Structure 1
Amino acid sequence: MSDRLTLAALLAHPAGGGLHPVAGADPATEWRDLVVGAGETDLPDDGTGLLALLTSAPPATPWQQDALVRRVRDRGYRALAAPGAEGFGPGTRALAERLGLALLAVDEPMALARAAWELVEGRDALTLGYVRRVAQSIEYHADNLADLLRHLSASVGHGVALIDGEGVLLQAGGELPSAVHAAIDFGPWLDTVAVADGSAASVRVDSPSRAGLRLAVFGTGLSTFQLSALGIAAEVAMPAVAARILIDEVADVNDAAVASGLLRDFLERSDDRDAELEQRMLERGWRTTGYHLGFRMIGRSRVDTLQLLRFVTRELTALPLDSHVATSGRGVTGWLSFAAPPAPSRVEEAVRALRMLHASARRSFTVATGIGTLETGPAGLVATIEGAADAARLAADRSATGYFLRIDALGLEQLLLSWTGSDTFVPAAESLLAPLLARGPELVETLTAYLDHESGIAATADALGLHRNTVSTRIARAQELLGLDLADPETRLAVHLACRAVRR
């Protein structure tokens, strides 16, 4: 024999005949080979280091079961598998464990015999079996990538996952252990790993739109040859996975564009009732009746809005909230809906959930988030979304609040923010700050951050990533160029609003 047979590998084989342990069966148990007989007398006399497989059921009476166990073990066999072995009584099971004989039950003895042959001698047959199952699975129509992974997992009989260097993106048929993911080498085309928590064979996904992806087939108890065969099966499945990723991304882009346009139309026609528009929103599952809490998440720097939409949608789906979200400008806009007036505690819970969503998003995206007020009806939905947009613009400059602001907490500042966007204020603000604007953006940016952080040099330096002396020098230069005293509260407010206006 070129390799030893292990119980773990047999249990992991997708066509193992329904093998399952009954007594004294350690998954790490190894045998030289498997021998088959209709009954005990058909087995070879010398069973040293072998697994005995009977195709007929064992006797039903306890004393006959005990005698069978003793005779099989006396001939050197280390394990006995038979259909109906679950019928061994507790006394027989205890006897088998005391003698060191593993008892195994199997539904289809000949399927188990073939699985053992594939694992020991028929390695090509094992590989072809996996490849055939993969080919059969990709023949079926899949609704999306997740559905395709489910088909693949069900066909090969092992877990399947799409992963990148950060973690698992999608998986089916189980959960890829973190230790296995950590052991995977993302460099080579094909990689196999085996650690205490499990093993996996993975292949690089040749996707034109997303780099660093791998398709992994994983499980426990897989032998070296099973991993090798699964690696080839993963290579066969990979083109279908890459194609499905591209198809889903095109569909996502189209759907995001439709949703974004629908939201824009709704916000622009807020004063006019449009039955067709409302019907389109209902078809998307967007609720405009009831009570709403809007939110807006924008990029503080360049951000992939489609990736941000996917992230936010996935996170919101896991929450027990009626939520809707769409791309909008350089971020995403969404709202939570309530059929009945929510209690204040329920609103606070929703805000906390959105704050946690914002914190999670910041691990991968440079964003700021604003929350609107609780409003009712279609007009109220427009109002809460607009309030969330104003809060998000303010939040983008508020490192002290974690770039998260709730419009309810702004009060007078919200009214002043609306004023700074008027046609009369903006030209006046540009005129006031012209001496600074003529020298580039640094002075205005520093002055804005300085005023946002209540004239704190240290806080401003931390927010901008500058040395305190640099901030002090710039603020002094700005006051000199403007010819104004920022110690005066009214002057400071006017300059602050002007800075906001020119940076909108």
Structure 2
Amino acid sequence: MQHTLNLRALVAHPRNGGLRWIEPAENADLLDPVDIPLHDVALVTSVEELPSHGPAEAVGPGAPGPVGSLVVFTQPPPAEPWEADALLRRVKSRGHVALAFKEPADLGAGTLAVARRLGLHVLGSGAPLALARAAWELQGNQDALTLGYVRKVAQSVEYHADHVQDLLRHLAASVGHGVALVDREGVLLEAGQHLSPDLHAALCSDAWTQAAQAGDTSGASVRVESPSREGLRLVFFDGGLAGAQLSALAVAAEMAMPAVAARLLIDEVASVNNASIDSGLIRDFLEQPGGPDSDVRRRMHERGWRTSGVHLGFRIQGLSRLTPLELLRSVSRETGAWDVDTHVSTAGLGVIGWLTFPEPPSSRELERHTGALRELHRTLRRSFNVSTGVGTPEAGAEGLASSLDAAGEAARVAAHRERGGYFLRIDALGLEQLLLSRTRNDIFLPAARSLLQPLIEAGGELLPTLGAYLDHESSTAATAHALGFHRNTVSTRIERIKDLLGLDLADPDTRLAVHLALRALQD
């Protein structure tokens, strides 16, 4: 089947003999690689072999230029400028719109000016025969083009790959185009080139294979079958690809997909094992009183975990069922781009991690990294129902444990703070709030209700009075003012409360316990 051929597609072909535009000394904008439609490509050794196509045909409004053909000379251009000028005129008179010389093509400014006046596009190629074959594949031999890509894919998967990213690099280098692994959220991994957001959006669908174009870039994608991850697609893309190339790349992507899926599965198993090791090490580190022993320190060192310096711990906790490994993958992808030493591991139904600074961070630096954690939390909330807590910066191994513990407490409190977006820095809490966070559990709540049961049974007026009394630091006058009662009424109620509870509210510890019990039942 005959396909439309243009210079942009030839330039984008990975096996085009190194085809390039020869830049003139001035007016470089003339030689931008626009879509120049071609009838065909003629391979000649001398001017005597030039075929004649008649005048170049004009195309419709808005089209980039006339339709003609490309002449590929297997020899370099003439050394004498007048001979080169005459050759250009002969090429133009025979109805051709572009010509390519074998490198090195050293054309002077005068010759390039002649080409410009003639409307003739001049290129260079280190391997004219390869260029002719590329044109033949694009124009009329889809099977040969597809076979070439498939052969390159087969060669790529024969190389040992340490991980998926390594495999994508092999594919990009062999196929000669950009390669990316994407999901609906964005680009997960890429090699060779950068996949634009517009093309990513155009290529994400439920179809098995899909071809699309966005701006100057186009690509072909195939759905990746993964038992643990949905919406994955493998994309081959580049600028200037013709329809024939996209069709061939779609087949090549299908051929490469099983190898990518298999490598993903291998990496997934390795990630599970690695996460399990990290999680166990974190648990051993946090559960050892007095700091980690020599064995734990050795294992942490082997994992590349630094305990020296200043650490800022954070904890991201699931508020409903989620897959910790998926959450870990998302967190690691974001924190891996930060300009600070970061470690992340699964922990229970969430992840735990910390940032390490060689020196104590300035307040501005600390705010910047806390802001990054807040933005990470917002990003995660789009896909995961989580709360996030951030500790305080602490130094050394003991400081790391303390910061992680504080981050865990902040995450627990944040889980009940919808107004705060389920994100909380521990230093934003007062002491009473921090103590209260420790009381919201199945052991304390029944005890709190039992402690205050006499007041509950006595009616609805005593609990609010006691709460206001404790909120106003046991001041009868302030409590009366807050409730709108007479001081004697408040004094009478407080005495009755003391009798019913059988407690000494003048004792600070007793007063704090009662206050926390009240808050726990009210919340």
Aligned with 1:34 (options 30, 41, 45): 41
Secondary structure of 1:245's match? helix
Give CA deviations for 1:179-223 in whole Å, capped at 9, x if unaligned: 222223623212222343321111111222222221111112111
1:258 maps to which residue? 277
- Please report the TM-score for the alignment, with normalisation by the length of structure 1: 0.85
Letter in 2 for 1:485: P
2:467 maps to which residue? 488
Give CA deviations for 1:367-400 in whole Å, capped at 9, x if unaligned: 2111112211111111111111111111111122
**1:12 correspondence with 2:19:** no
**Alpha-carbon contact 2:50-2:94 (below 8 Å) kept:** no
1:131 maps to which residue? 150
Alignment CA distance shift 1:157-1:96 (3 Å): same
**Alpha-carbon contact 2:413-2:437 (below 8 Å) kept:** no
Alignment CA distance shift 1:382-1:78 (3 Å): same
Letter in 2 for 1:181: H
Q: CA deviation at 1:479?
A: 12
Give CA deviations for 1:302-360 in whole Å, capped at 9, x if unaligned: 22211111111121111111111111111111111122233333322222222222222
Q: CA deviation at 1:46?
A: 4.1
Q: CA deviation at 1:498?
A: 4.2
Secondary structure of 2:365's match? helix
Q: CA deviation at 1:172?
A: 1.3
Distance 2:333 2:453 in 1: 45
**1:363 correspondence with 2:382:** yes
- Please report the TM-score for the alignment, with normalisation by the length of structure 2: 0.82
Aligned with 1:147 (options 166, 171, 192): 166
**1:194 correspondence with 2:213:** yes
1:238 maps to which residue? 257
**1:295 correspondence with 2:292:** no
**Alpha-carbon contact 1:4-1:33 (below 8 Å) kept:** no
Aligned with 2:286 (options 267, 273, 298): 267
**1:97 correspondence with 2:116:** yes
Matches within 5 A, 1:396-407: 396-407=415-426
Q: Which runs of 5+ in 1 are unaligned?
A: 436-476
**Alpha-carbon contact 1:299-1:331 (below 8 Å) kept:** yes
Letter in 1 for 2:467: D
Distance 1:121 1:433 in 2: 88
Alignment CA distance shift 1:487-1:98 (3 Å): farther
Letter in 1 for 2:217: G
**Alpha-carbon contact 1:479-1:485 (below 8 Å) kept:** no
Which is greater in Rg?
2
How many residues in Structure 1 have an aligned counterpart in Structure 2?
463
2:227 maps to which residue? 208
**Alpha-carbon contact 2:84-2:111 (below 8 Å) kept:** yes
Q: CA deviation at 1:279?
A: 0.6
**1:3 correspondence with 2:3:** yes
Letter in 1 for 2:188: L
2:50 maps to which residue? 43
Matches within 5 A, 1:404-443: 404-413=423-432, 415-417=434-436, 420=439, 425-431=444-450
Give CA deviations for 1:271-302 in whole Å, capped at 9, x if unaligned: 25411110100111111122111111112222
Q: CA deviation at 1:500?
A: 7.8
1:162 maps to which residue? 181
Alignment CA distance shift 1:273-1:331 (3 Å): closer
Alignment CA distance shift 1:272-1:408 (3 Å): closer
Letter in 2 for 1:333: I
Between the two proteins, what is the percent identity of the paired residues?
54
**1:228 correspondence with 2:247:** yes
1:178 maps to which residue? 197
Alignment CA distance shift 1:487-1:178 (3 Å): farther
Secondary structure of 2:392's match? strand
**Alpha-carbon contact 1:177-1:197 (below 8 Å) kept:** no
1:248 maps to which residue? 267
Distance 2:287 2:346 in 1: 16
Alignment CA distance shift 1:196-1:421 (3 Å): closer
Q: CA deviation at 1:226?
A: 1.0
Distance 1:335 1:294 in 2: 4
Aligned with 2:406 (options 351, 363, 387): 387
Letter in 2 for 1:488: G
Q: CA deviation at 1:494?
A: 7.1
Q: CA deviation at 1:265?
A: 0.2
Question: Higher mean Cα deviation, 419-428 or 386-395?
Answer: 419-428
Distance 1:496 1:398 in 2: 20
Distance 2:232 2:151 in 1: 24
Alignment CA distance shift 1:135-1:478 (3 Å): farther
Distance 2:181 2:292 in 1: 45
**1:58 correspondence with 2:77:** yes
Give CA deviations for 1:240-277 in whole Å, capped at 9, x if unaligned: 11111111111111100100000000001142541111
Alignment CA distance shift 1:183-1:351 (3 Å): closer
Aligned with 2:333 (options 306, 314, 320): 314
Alignment CA distance shift 1:69-1:312 (3 Å): same
Alignment CA distance shift 1:487-1:433 (3 Å): closer
Give CA deviations for 1:466-485 in whole Å, capped at 9, x if unaligned: xxxxxxxxxxx999889732
